[in-house]
Amino acid sequence: MSHKVTNDEGMQFNREEEEENDDDGDGMDLDAWERAYADERSWESLQEDESGLLRPIDNKTLSHAQYRRRLRTTSAARVQKGLIRYLYIIIDLSRAAGETDYKPSRMVVVARQVEAFIREFFDQNPLSQIGLVTLKDGVTHCLTDLGGSPESHIKALMGKLECSGDSSLQNGLDFVQGLLNQIPTYGHREVLILYSALSSCDPGDIMETIKKCKASKIRCSVIGLSAEIYICKYLCQETGGSYSIALDESHLKELVLEHAPPPPAIAEFAIANLIKMGFPQRAAEGVVSICSCHKEAKVGAGYICPRCKARVCELPTECQICGLTLVSSPLLARSYHHLFPITPFDDVSPSVANDPRKLPKNCFGCQQSLLNPGKS
Amino acid sequence: MKFQIEDVTVYFPYENIYPEQYSYMIELKRALDAKGHCLLEMPTGTGKTIALLSLITSYSLSKPSNPVKLLYCTRTVHEMEKTLAELKLLHNYQVKHLGPSARILALGLSSRKNLCVNPAVVSAENRDSVDAACRKLTASWVRALAAEDPRVSTCEFFENYEKASSDAVLPPGVYTLQDLRTFGKEKGWCPYFLARHMVQFANVVVYSYQYLLDPKVAGIISKEMQRESVVVFDEAHNIDNVCIEALSVRVRSQTLEGATRNLNKMSQEIERLKATDAGRLRAEYNRLVEGLAQRGNLPISDTWFANPTLPADILKEAVPGNIRRAEHFLSVLRRLVQYFKGRLQTENVEKEGPVTFVASINAQVGIDQKMLRFCYDRLYSLMLTLEITDTEEFMHIQTICDLATLVGTYTRGFSIIIEPFDERMPHIPDPVLQLCCHDASLAIKPVFERFQSVVITSGTLSPIDLYPRLLNFNPVVSRSFTMSLTRDCICPMVLTRGSDQLPVSTKYDLRSDPGVEKNYGKLLLEMVSVVPDGVVCFFVSYSYMDGIVNSWHESGILKEIMQHKLVFIETQDVVETTLALDNYRRACDCGRGAVFFSVARGKVAEGIDFDRHYGRLVIMFGVPFQYTLSRILLARLEYLRETFQIKEGDFLTFDALRQAAQCVGRVIRSKADYGMMIFADKRYSRHDKRSKLPSWILSHLRDAHLNLSTDMAVHIAREFLRRMAQPYDKTGAMGKRTLLSQEDLEKMVNGVSDMLF
């Protein structure tokens, strides 16, 4: 379980998951105190203040930050957003990624967060694609090409977790820039860099590379794991990305997941465009056919490309034969909701929440009971 | 914004003001009201300059019947330009709000090197040669000659300026050096002489310390300043050293050789003059008989050096008879130079007071005190008579006469020290005869006496009660301000132990201990791996830096450091250091990261800023005490103890800590910046050392950070850097207000006015 308890809300949320776990039978005999030890990491929710006293982590600033974030997302309504995103995640696997200030080590934590991010990303942006790149020994390694399948990315990432050498921001950017340049103009080019190191050993002038990235309209965002580096800040400023530094693992998670919803499109980048898409039918149930994506005979459900009638296994994808973008309408709808976010809502204070008379009994959207959260 | 401080309406060119600027202005205003001197310490990056300028100009605007003049002294030309730029902004604002009545004349004055527009002159390589080149074109006899003979070249800018004579004035406004040059080029007037002329009429003059403190220069430039002036010494933490420098003379064997050459040339000139124009020499003789050392009112271009002693000490007597004749005077000088040569051949270090020195001169070469005293004036008169323009060439003999006059005038506060070789390099003979001034109050005394208010201000003046004793004056206000910050953006730490928990120090007995060197190396290594971009290290001396870098190199630590960051080193060569700094900045910019090794009291420690990513961390290795075996220092300490009852230890600690504070203060230059400071020596944790740090550092030095070892420091650094990288609210909404608007100030004045600090 990767959740860490940061505030009361989170705690409740956690319990809920635990209860689900209990049904599986493995956490059955954990007592409450053991649970607090094993799962909630309660010691991590304490903080030392200036005089050395322990106190709980300041929930006020956290909720303040959350509030501000919500305001930001809502105020950004009606802003054009890039729905079809081509995102490269650059993971720094240099020497610094082996440091253990995050437990067990920076790279493991990063990999864990990237995994969660990839799932969340495809959940929110079904039409988009991700590629994975690592920096190691001053060289850039491409783990996966751009693709829409979360599983293949995660598998590739988990298989390659070792760190050594220096990292070169310039090499990474150059590489990614070369790849992203081939992307059709309607796609939004983004790079998310998870940077452990505190320096960048470059073969040439990184300023040139940053200029090139800017010219190719690649939005670069950096999440640092230890401290603010000038060149990263400059890169983000120039290309319109965001730069943030993680305080701890939960903060890192928050920062990474902030990149899941599509960012507002920068006006000059966004050219309104018509895109040709196919909506394949689910077909050929129980029939043996040759799958165009795996190049082998498969039994069972697949989709048929409406143009060339080739069989593909999953959506969204690009047809291997005719190159048509294949999506399904629910995917399109899911992406679409980013354009019309829910209207801002007011916090309900706990005292009101406990007073059943003043509240509707069920959520108007999903019909879950509001009185007994967690039990529908 | 504009607001009231008591009866003065202050015009401040920005929308908001920091609370500390406001209280700074209040204190300053009170000092001006009391017509007294004041001592104010406020950290850099809090807008000291603009607070000073806007209060003083507003003060003089509010009292139109008796406006005060502002003399603003800076250390460097760069600071001068910055100050003038601020003033320009302020002036525009004031004119906008008050109309043309608020117009003032403000200008910067610098040497010819910075102001000259004559391409032939300004191309000379250093200051002295520019001065000499200028005199060759503008001396009165050269111009007189040129009037007859068109082949003699003159400076057209100076000629135009002279022609315009009383019309040559600057219209009101604020002139930076650049503006002056542009104006001069436009009008064809010499900006240097124009500026020197206009200084008397200007409301604000920005110039260097020397123009007030060095009697040689002050006698010419600042003679005419009225009493109703406010003198500001900015960045004045080293003002005592500037004062001492102004009255100290150093003679090496090269100087003596040069002086002999000068004398030969002068006697040739005299011979020539005797043959061609004996009348001139006789005229000089007659003038000297009448007791006029100088030729009455000299044209502006002929004055170059005034007497090196302070105005009050110049004798109003006739030049003694035995040096009135040029030949006699030359032979006196020759004997004097010969005497110095003899003294320099000594093999032991000698130290004596001025009285015994003069007595021994009298006994050996028969020059008495009175003759010595008149040397400078007599030389000056002779050089004018001989119409010598190449002052650079005659520098050596001037130095000799300088020394002679000083030694003949003062009996206290000076000593003569002759060293046959440098203490640190005993194999190389390098004899030097030094006249050292020990009393900083001598040079600054006339300034305190002449002007109604003198403001001494800097980022580091702690402990603030020592300066009045060193400079021997009574401030009406002396205060130290802290910085109001929205977040704790400086993080000072005292590191007492290395990674093996053994104490670290640069104390004499621990200095060469390999364990300490290793611990320092480990500290730096750990730090470069957690601190991004730039790291600056200060060592106590060049030799210590050489030694420790060598040992790090041998033990491979340096190589490990280079894996994280590039290493740059300050050397005594200015060009090399500039290059290193340039590359250091580039390495910080491109993300490679760099470490700069530098020396406390070096050039870098005084004038170069390592703000933002150029310096996220500064490590002060050791306590930068002065070289305590130096004779000059020992003599000064003795004098301080006897005269001002300042204990040796107190002065040394004070001096070391102000240097350390200067070094670490380089790292933070504005409130939006952040940086860490590590004092790596166990002695910093002692109260007597620590308490002498400026209060703005002390207030951020937590008790928990007073006795750290390397690993703890690294942990704190990590946390600090993470915290500082988070976005923050610049206006300080969380209860700490660091920016005050006009309404806030009005509220404060009406309500409780002392809610600040």
- Which of B110, B106, B109 is closest to B203 using CA atoms? B106
Residue A261 contacts residue A338 (beta carbons within 8 Å): yes
CA separation for the pair B157, B549 (Å, rounded): 53
pLDDT tens-digit series, residues B570-622: 998 888 999 999 999 999 999 899 999 999 988 888 778 898 899 999 999 99
- Per-residue tokens: B437: 């001034």
Name residue B414's amino acid.
F
Q: Give Dmax over CA atoms of chain A in angstroms.
A: 72
**Distance to chain B for A312, nearest Cα, Å:** 45
Q: In a 3-state reduction of DSSP, which class is residue A143? A: strand
> Rounded to an integer, what distance in angstroms lies between the CA atom of residue B731 and that of residue B671?
11
Query: Phi and psi dihedrals of B416, rounded to 5?
Result: -105, 125
Under a CB-based contact definition with an 8 Å cutoff, are residues B435 and B340 in contact?
no
What pLDDT sits at residue B754? 46
Residue A60: the pLDDT is: 58
* CA–CA gap between residue B529 and residue B649 (Å, rounded): 38
B6 by Cβ neighbours in 10 Å (0-12 / 13-18 / 19+) ranks as exposed
DSSP string, B486-539: SS--EEEEEEEE-TTS-B----HHHHT-HHHHHHHHHHHHHHHHHS-SEEEEEE
Which of B532, B563, B591 is nearest residue A169 as measured by Cβ atoms? B591
Who among B532, B563, B702 is closest to A229 (CB)? B532
Query: What pLDDT is attached to residue A309?
Result: 83
Are A226 and B702 within 8 A, CB to CB? Answer: no
Q: Which residues of B touch A (CB under 8 A)?
A: 529-533, 563-565, 588-593, 612-613, 616, 702, 704, 718, 721-727
Tokens 């006739």, located at residue: B318
Min Cα–Cα distance to chain A from B529, Å: 7
Q: Which residues of B touch A101 (CB under 8 A)?
A: 718
Task: Check residue A19 and give its pLDDT.
Answer: 41
Complex ipTM value: 0.82
pLDDT band, residue B120 (cuts 50/70/90): confident
Residues of B in contact with A202 (CB under 8 A): 590-592
| CB-neighbour burial class of residue B21 (10 A; exposed 0-12, middle 13-18, buried 19+) | buried
pLDDT digits (tens, 9 = 90+) for B340-388: 999 988 888 888 889 999 999 999 998 888 888 888 888 888 888 888 8
Cβ count near B611 (within 10 Å)? 17
Contact A255, A223 (CB under 8 A): yes
Mean pLDDT of B413-422: 87
Give pLDDT tens digits for B684-741. 999 888 888 988 898 888 888 999 999 999 999 999 999 898 887 665 544 456 677 7
- pLDDT reading at B220 higher than 50: yes
Distance from CA of A234 to the nearest CA of B (A): 9
Q: Return the residue in B486, B701, B722, B728 with the most chain A beta carbons within 10 A, the one to mutate for interface testing.
A: B722
Of the candidates B588, B721, B722, the beta carbon closest to that of A230 is on B588
CA distance B734 to chain A (A): 10
Mean pLDDT, chain B, integer: 86
Cβ-contact B477, B30 below 8 angstroms: yes
Reported as a pLDDT band with limits 50, 70 and 90, residue A11 is very low
Over residues B181-187, mean pLDDT: 89
Measured between CA atoms, the residue of chain B closest to residue A61 is: B734
CB B637 within 8 A of CB B653: no
- Residue A14 confidence (pLDDT): 43
Which member of A200, A227, A230 has the closest CB to residue B721?
A: A227
pLDDT in tens, B150-165: 888 888 888 888 888 7
- Identify the top-confidence range among A9-13, A55-59, B167-171, B403-407: B403-407
Q: Which residues of A touch B (CB under 8 A)?
A: 50, 52, 96, 101, 166, 169, 198-202, 205-207, 224, 226-232, 244-247
**pLDDT per residue over B530-543, tens digit each?**
999 999 999 999 98
Q: What is the pLDDT of residue B485?
A: 79
C-alpha B346/C-alpha B89 separation (Å) is 59
Task: Among B592, B616, B727, select the one facing A200 at the smallest CB separation.
Answer: B592
User: Quick one: what percent of chain B has pLDDT higher than 70?
Assistant: 94
Set of chain A residues whose Cβ sits within 8 Å of the Cβ of B533: 198, 229-230
Q: Is B374 in a helix, a strand, or coil? A: helix
* Site from A102, A199, A236 to mutate, B interface, most B CB atoms within 10 angstroms: A199
Average pLDDT over residues B654-661: 91
Please give the structure tokens belonging to residue B8.
């003065």
| pLDDT of the residue at A135 | 92
Which comes out higher in pLDDT, residue A47 or A3? A47
Give, as one character, the DSSP assignment of residue A310: -
CB contact (8 A) between residue B532 and residue A202: no
The residue ranking higher by pLDDT, A137 or A330, is A137
Q: What is the pLDDT of residue B598?
A: 94
- Residue B626 is encoded by which pair of tokens? 């002065």
In whole angstroms, give the CA distance from residue B728 to residue B707: 30
- CA B378/CA B318 separation, integer angstroms: 10
Residue B381: the pLDDT is: 83
With cut-offs at 50, 70 and 90, classify the pLDDT of residue A30: low
Query: 3-class SS at A190?
Result: strand
SS3 content of chain B, % helix, strand, coil (to 5): 55, 15, 30
The strands making up A325-326's β-sheet, listed across from edge to edge, are: A277-278, A325-326, A317-318
The whole-angstrom distance between A114's CA and the closest CA on chain B is 21
Q: How far is CA A280 from the centre of its chain?
A: 27
Q: Please name the member of B565, B589, B704 whose beta carbon is closest to the beta carbon of A199.
A: B565
Mean pLDDT, residues A134-144: 91
pLDDT of residue B569: 94
pLDDT digits (tens, 9 = 90+) for A264-299: 776 555 566 677 888 888 876 677 777 777 777 777
Interface test with A, best of B525, B590, B617, B706 (most A CBs within 10 A): B590
pLDDT surpassing 90 at residue A221: yes
pLDDT value at residue B3: 86
State the pLDDT at residue A62: 61
Confidence of residue A314 (pLDDT cuts 50, 70, 90): confident
Among the ranges given (A322-331, A348-357, B39-48), the one the predictor scored with the smallest mean pLDDT:
A348-357
Q: What is the DSSP letter of A39?
A: I
Residue B139: partners with Cβ closer than 8 Å, 6 or more residues away: B301, B302, B387, B389
Cis ω for the linkage preceding B463 (within 30 of 0)? yes
Cα–Cα distance, B732 to B460 (Å, whole number): 26
Q: Chain B residues with CB inside 8 Å of A230's CB? A: 532-533, 588-589, 591, 612-613
Nearest CA in chain B to A225: B722
Q: Taking CA atoms, what residue in A is nearest to B613?
A: A230
Asked whether the beta carbons of residue B722 and residue A247 sit closer than 8 angstroms, the reply is: yes
